[in-house]
Homo-oligomer: A and B are copies of this chain.
Amino acid sequence: MNVPVSFRVSALFCVLFCPRMAKLQAVFSLRHMLVMSLALNVGLIMRMFPDSDETLANDAVEAGVNSKRETHVVQKSTTLSGVNSTSADRPGRRERVINLDHGDPTMYEGYWRQMGEKTTITIPGWQSLSYISDMTNVCWFLVPEFAEEVVRLHQVVGNAVTEDRHIVVGTGSSQLILAALYALSSPDAAEPISVVSAAPYYSSYPSMVDYQKSRLYKWAGDAESFNKDGPYIELVTSPNNPDGLLRRSVVNRSQGLLIHDLAYYWPQYTPITSPSDHDLSLFTVSKSTGHAGMRIGWALVKDRKVAEKMTRFIELNTIGVSKDSQLRAAKVLKAVSDGCQQGESSFFKHSYKLMAGRWKLLRATVEYGGLFSLPQFCPSFCTFFGQETEPQPAFLWLRCEGEIEDCEGFLRKHKIISRGGKHFGGSPKLTRISMLDTQETFLDFIERLSNIQQIK
């Protein structure tokens, strides 16, 4: 089921899908709703983590979630003036190009710096010379320590079933998508198998599928309008990139083969409602822990033959995957699992707060202005946090309201680089903006948005 998006300039809670809120909207004015929702939200977030330690409190200040800072930020936002005094001191910030085109997860750097030596890895020069990691494994280049930590993390977070699954490691999940297409297609088929995904879909899918001009598979566009008989592959991204919504397959025919891209199914982005349990799921450290430079992704694969074919693809493509990065990823995943099991200051809690702070600031900035609108989400019970949380996606899927037809172009005039809706098979009235950049860039972005609305 592909849930449609509401972009109405309304309160924080999703009016369309939370019926109890729909009545309220009729009673209160826009401004009332805004003030009330902001207040509610501050309280909600502060209550959620009542016993934050000092480190987390510092993070909160940084993210604009601390109550004192919060008041300050909200006041500033509601007057549409500057947001951040540090930001205001930097020369040239008003003229700088703010590039939020890529989902570069530099936001997480602060946390990993705070962790100090915990995830530092030392690799001696004589280590990892061989191509081979474990010839007894279907995926012979999979480093066992990494595989162990993948299983453990999924168990700790509760976001994926790992029993009776083969793990295939990839150079990022991009390589695994291609490996999965190769594994699910047949070299003897009369024609290439159709590959579809419901719009708005990840903007790289069409190029990734078609750049090699393969006779094994071909891009066939929006899954919603796909009506061809015969076998097909559907890419199901959940939460979805760019809009953050949860997804299920939409074609739903007997000959469908599904690839679940679950890069964002982590507690900082969305409530973990149950362990995912699919034939073929993909994950990546780029978005789970923020280590995009490692280029490490993994697939959980039910069918041994599919795992073997994926392994064969990677063998022919890159003869395996960097052992250095697998070892480093193992250390990072271990630290994340340890943190979750040992105490309060877990990576996901910290990241959830960061994202919550950003989304709140964003809503406070945008929803008052009327020039833009944001997607609305319903909270759900998160089994990881043990309470209700709200989706706070890694990307903002922003809609320009009124007469602005090209939202990407409009922002570009104001030196904000985003990725326009048409790249995602969607409307140019929408554009995708990364929420994962550095704090400095994010605050500059908020200030720029604020200024744009002031100008208008």
Residues of A within 8 A of B (CB): 102, 104-106, 108-113, 115, 117-133, 170-172, 174-175, 178, 182, 187, 204, 207-208, 211-216, 286, 290-296, 313, 316-325, 328, 331-332, 335
Contacts and interface: CB of A to CB of B under 8 A. Distances in A.
B293 A319 contact: no
B124 A122 contact: no
B292 A131 contact: yes
A292 to B, nearest CB: 4
A174 B119 CA distance: 31
Contacts of A178: 317
A294 B323 contact: yes
Contact of A129 (B109, B133, B171): B109
Contact of A105 (B111, B129, B292): B129
A320 B102 CA distance: 13
Nearest to A176: B318
A291 B129 CA distance: 4
Contacts of A105: 129-130
A318 B313 CA distance: 13
Contact of A324 (B108, B215, B294, B320): B294
B120 A115 contact: no
Nearest to A187: B213
A202 to B, nearest CB: 12
A204 B316 contact: yes
A211 B322 CA distance: 22
A323 B112 CA distance: 17
Copy count, this protein chain: 2
Q: Which 6 A-B pairs have the closest CB atoms?
A: A119-B125, A128-B293, A112-B126, A293-B323, A322-B322, A171-B318
A325 B326 CA distance: 10
A286 B120 contact: no
Contacts of A126: 109-113, 115
B125 A123 contact: no
Contacts of A122: 120-122
B125 A120 contact: yes
A132 to B, nearest CB: 6
A130 to B, nearest CB: 5
Contacts of A111: 126
B295 A320 contact: yes
Contacts of A109: 126, 129
A218 to B, nearest CB: 10
Contacts of A120: 122-125
6 contacts: A105-B129, A117-B124, A118-B125, A213-B216, A294-B323, A325-B325
Nearest to A291: B129
A260 to B, nearest CB: 19
Nearest to A170: B318
A213 B214 contact: yes
B316 A207 contact: yes
A173 to B, nearest CB: 9
Contact of A112 (B106, B129, B207): B129
A322 B213 contact: no
Given A112-B125, A121-B122, A293 B130 contact: yes
A236 B102 CA distance: 38
Contacts of A213: 187, 214-216
A320 B290 CA distance: 15
A16 B112 CA distance: 63
Nearest to A329: B324
B322 A295 contact: yes
A184 B136 CA distance: 38
Nearest to A115: B125
Chain B CB within 10 A, most for which of A127, A295, A323: A295
A317 B174 contact: yes
A312 B91 CA distance: 35
A318 B212 contact: no
Given A174-B318, A212-B182, A106 B130 contact: yes
A216 B215 CA distance: 10
Contacts of A318: 170-172, 174-175, 295, 318
Given A131-B293, A214-B213, A292-B131, A319 B174 contact: yes
Contacts of A102: 131-132
